[in-house]
Amino acid sequence: MQLGMIGLGKMGGNMARRLQAGGITIHGFNKDSGVTEQLAEEIGLVAAASIRALVDSLDAPRRLWLMLPAGEVTEAVVRELFDALSPGDLIVDGGNSWFKDSMRRAVEAREHGIGFVDAGVSGGIWGLENGYTLMAGGSDDAIAAIEPLLKILAPQADKGWIHTGPAGSGHFTKMIHNGIEYGMMQAYAEGFALLKGRDDFDLDLAGIAETWRHGSVVRSWLLDLSAGLLAKDQQLDGIEPIVADSGEGRWTALEAIEQGVPTPVMSLALMTRFASQGQQDYSARLLARMRQEFGGHPVIAAEAD
């Protein structure tokens, strides 16, 4: 079976490696041609110099899997594929696109006679070794066409992947997955901050994390990762306290508002990330000045650059 892959970064590259090892012939294109050439040398990937060349190198019916940033980049590539592909071909968007964009693209793909699957992919940089969790939305025929790929990418052929429903449902499910992830990460971070703050106990954070991994009700893969990083460095002094956020957390919060469903944990975890990025700086300065105005409390002057 052949598969064309567009986007061969950390996730896409490792997925190509896992698929090629599973017997799929991968044809690949990446904006940075050096990445494509490196994978060609490493795993025998068939390198293409352009998206059009990638399409032309594949036998019909063609299967194209995108691992690209959500938004304009994915939109541009999907539109280019609409012009290059033929009826009966199929596009899989494995990036973190907004589910409503995926619903729209599925309709547009159908108008071209092209299949469309939106696949939420979880597993990060560990997916090559452990497999990926896959949440795929699309028609029964479209999912059947890529089922061999899902079985190779998943941790097991019969576990770790699911046909979630119609187009859009895959990315919707992944969006909620990431919202849950935000909340779990925030809870662990706050808990360990409280443990670290009790200086008189001189707690071994790495040891506690390792203990919790075995039988505790809070055990998880995120705890496994935390135990590993704390074993290397419990102080974390060399890291700026800035946490980036991607679109899924924001979309989850917006979906909660749209549905009228209370999601305080996930929403507050997102707000905390905004605060770490300096988005709370102005409000904090204004709070300090208001406190000074009504109570005469001192403010701390900013250091000059």
* Residues designated as active site: 174, 181
Tell me how many degrees the CA angle 129-130-131 measures, rounded to the nearest 5: 105
Measured CA to CA, the distance from residue 177 to residue 137 in angstroms comes to 15
Mapping DSSP to helix (H, G, I), strand (E, B) and coil, where does residue 89 land? coil
Determine contact, residues 74/95, Cβ cutoff 8 Å: yes
User: Which pair of tokens denotes residue 234?
Assistant: 């419990």
Bridge pairing between strands 63-66 and 2-6? parallel
217-245 burial: b if 16+ Cβ within 10 Å, else e: eeeeeebeebbeebeeebeeeeeeeebeb
